[in-house]
Chain A
Amino acid sequence: MQQLVDKVKEIIKNKEVDVVIGWGRGSLPFSATPIFVETEKDAEKLIFDETCRNNLTTYLTKDKRRISKEYKKIGIVVKGCDSRSVVLYTVENQIKRENVVLIGIPCNGVFEKKKLSQLVDGKEILDFQIDRENIILKGRNFEQTHPLKEVLCDSCLTCQYPDAPEHDYFIGTPRKEVNVPDAYKTINEFGKKSSEERWAYIQEEYSKCIRCYACRNVCPSCYCPECFVDQNDPQWIGKTPEVTDSIIFHLIRNLHIAGRCVDCGACVSACPVDLDLRIMSKKVEKEIKERFDYTAGIDIHEKPAMASYCEHEKQDFIMG
């Protein structure tokens, strides 16, 4: 991705930014790793491909906003979903848009490690190769070919904004038409089940949560200086990994990101026990879309759904 490297070198040289957050080659076959580029030389390390999983905008608000304190102007390499997070931060007054330089990049989707692992039945993948529409997975005693689509994140498969709607520079050629069959297919199908069936699935799924909070910490929308789970005076929720406590954590987190989730899928990828986190977040996204006709992170001038009020809004959720 020479164009990306050149652009970053240029904006560093022009002192347009003090740092650029991008992806570098990771230590595992399917992991890119976040890097903080301050010099033209370091810009050589930048990559972009299907392994660039993380939503790097999350660093803007993490760790007491360390990055915003250390650097005045921050450049970030963004995929579509990542750029939407920056819109979110802007409309929620978390950053000043002019302090961030966005280098947009057309995204064809990123790999979901857990899907890869399932395809090879848990065996270790040591290398891979992309051959047009297919991916060849290689391990010690196997080599398998699969359609590329099978290993992309669910979020990517229903993504409607792969071209970083918000950006200052754009690298490469935008993807043209994006045909998403039905973004809410899984949710609608799940909704058709009986409430007992749905509850059984949610209980079964969330009973495996180990409460490591990786989902919360990678989430760009989770930026509270103090999360409700860390409130212990008085304590808000039980801290055990028992299903009742874990479900409350996930329910509250999902309500808190209602109308704010950009469906980047970072939580799904980060979960060390492969929970189906999107079953909740996508449902909440759908509700917001249907009730308020609002999609998070698209319009930098529009007030967020949960921060505005309109008389014509459906209120049946209040009236029962």
Chain B
Amino acid sequence: MIKIKKTDLHNFIEFLIKDYNVYAPADVGKKIAFKKINSAFEIRHDITNTHLSPKNVFFPQSEVMFQYSDDGLKIPERNEKPIAVWGMRNCDTSSLIMLNKVFGDAHQMPDKNMYKDPYWKMKYDNCLIFGQACNEPLSTCFCNWFDGNPFAKKGADVFVVDTCDHFIFEGVSEKGKAFLLKYKFAEEATKTDLDKIAELKKTAESYLPEKLDVKPLYNKMSQIWDEPIWDEISAKCINCGACTFVCPTCHCFDVSDEGKGKKGKRIRLWDSCMFQIFTREASGHNPRELSTQRVRQRLMHKYNYFMDNYEQYLCTGCGRCVQVCPVNLDIREVIKQILDYKISRNEDN
């Protein structure tokens, strides 16, 4: 483990910028989100969690898949430097593992010949992820329900702890260790630093909510698909897409063609299962016409279908949806409501 004085961080970031396009929490309008930075001074270190999730770094809200014209078809290639992301909390680094199972990591699937998404892979495969210890979880955080921890290193190449006056770096993956070896201006971390980290970890954990056993959620959800509980849960949902768009793990997209005359492009865009049009078919029929059906879909995808496909839940407990929901439909309460629900259906039916 090495350490760098906080006041010297810009040297490290400049060193990183030489080889990477660096994304970090920074001001975007009145909010804080991950954006490409040109200098260490743009980074917001004083934050707890970014308002928008980092998924846009690897899975942009709008991405050109190809362009066409009289000259033929042009598929975008990535000629830029690889991506490094600074300042991702555990809820975000673990979301990348989930998204990578969908877009990139075909060997996780039963069928090894599954589709691998080139647009994701060209950004994600060579990236360097700087996980950062979450010193101060928010009251909306619940990462500990989903195997997360403010100081967990999963999904990070390098793990960074902000100890007030220093940043302590630990290489996690081979890629991360190799990168740290290249940087010559750091000191070795001492026992005092390790003690400080342990202390910070303890404090951070004390901010988390009581751990909830979510293992039974999968089975419970398998049994309640046609139960009236969904009407109760969805009653106040107004079907905007705020929760899905700030979620680090929601990854549904739409494909849209924009062309005029002989020129045009095909774009991939974030979509949301909360929208009516999401499932409307060409005939006009919509299998998820009602809010109830759409709310059920989102929750089933997170806590049931994803488990079927990838053996884990599609939620990291980052709490962003809790913060933005205009009607305070709190997913933590929904989870508890489902776990507590007594199935009304007669098993013979």
Contacts and interface: CB of A to CB of B under 8 A. Distances in A.
Interface of A: 26-28, 31-36, 54, 58-59, 62-64, 66, 114, 118, 122, 124, 126, 140, 205, 208, 210-214, 216-218, 226, 230, 232-233, 235, 238-242, 266, 269-270, 272-275
Nearest to B33: A273
Interface in B19-46: 28-32, 46
Contacts of B276: 226, 230
Given A232-B277, A270-B326, A217 B290 contact: no
Contact of A26 (B61, B241, B275, B328): B328
A201 to B, nearest CB: 12
B88 interface: no
B301 to A, nearest CB: 18
B340 interface: no
Contact of A62 (B136, B238, B241): B238
B14 to A, nearest CB: 26
Interface in B233-254: 235-236, 238-242, 244-246, 254
Top-10 shortest CB links A-B: A270-B326, A214-B240, A33-B328, A217-B240, A26-B328, A212-B241, A31-B328, A272-B324, A240-B62, A63-B291
Contacts of A272: 31, 51-52, 242, 245-246, 324
Given A33-B327, A62-B238, A216-B240, A273 B29 contact: yes
27 contacts: A26-B330, A27-B330, A27-B332, A36-B236, A58-B238, A59-B236, A62-B239, A66-B290, A122-B46, A126-B139, A208-B31, A211-B61, A212-B244, A213-B240, A214-B242, A217-B238, A217-B326, A226-B276, A230-B276, A238-B258, A239-B256, A239-B267, A241-B61, A270-B242, A272-B31, A273-B29, A274-B31
B291 A66 contact: yes
B322 interface: yes
Nearest to A242: B62
Contacts of B275: 213, 230
A118 B31 CA distance: 10
B108 interface: no
Contacts of A31: 328
A214 B138 contact: no
A238 B61 CA distance: 13
Contacts, number: 128
B48 interface: yes
B238 A218 contact: yes
B229 interface: no
Pick from B235, B324, B327 the residue with the most CB of A within 10 Å: B327
Contacts of A211: 61, 241, 245
B238 A274 contact: no
Nearest to B271: A239
B333 interface: yes
B297 interface: no
B140 interface: yes
B330 A274 contact: no
Please report whether the interface of chain A is mostly helix, strand, loop or mixed according to DSSP. Answer: loop
Contacts of A241: 61-62, 269
Give chain B's interface residue range (CB within 8 Å of chain A).
35 or more
Contacts of A205: 29
Nearest to A117: B30
Given A36-B235, A212-B241, A213-B275, A218 B290 contact: no
Given A239-B269, A240-B269, A273-B29, A124 B139 contact: yes
Given A33-B236, A273-B31, A274-B30, A212 B245 contact: yes
A216 B136 CA distance: 34
B47 interface: yes
Given A208-B28, A240-B267, A122 B47 contact: yes
Interface string B127-170: 00000000010111000000000000000000000000000000
Contact of A213 (B32, B46, B241): B241
A274 B29 contact: yes
B328 A230 contact: no
B272 interface: yes
Given A122-B32, A211-B245, A272-B324, 18 more contacts: A26-B328, A31-B328, A114-B30, A126-B139, A140-B136, A208-B31, A212-B241, A212-B245, A212-B272, A217-B238, A217-B239, A217-B326, A218-B238, A230-B275, A239-B254, A266-B326, A272-B31, A275-B29
A32 B277 contact: no
Nearest to A266: B326
A240 B235 CA distance: 30
Contacts of B269: 239-241
B289 interface: yes
A269 B291 CA distance: 22
A28 B328 contact: yes
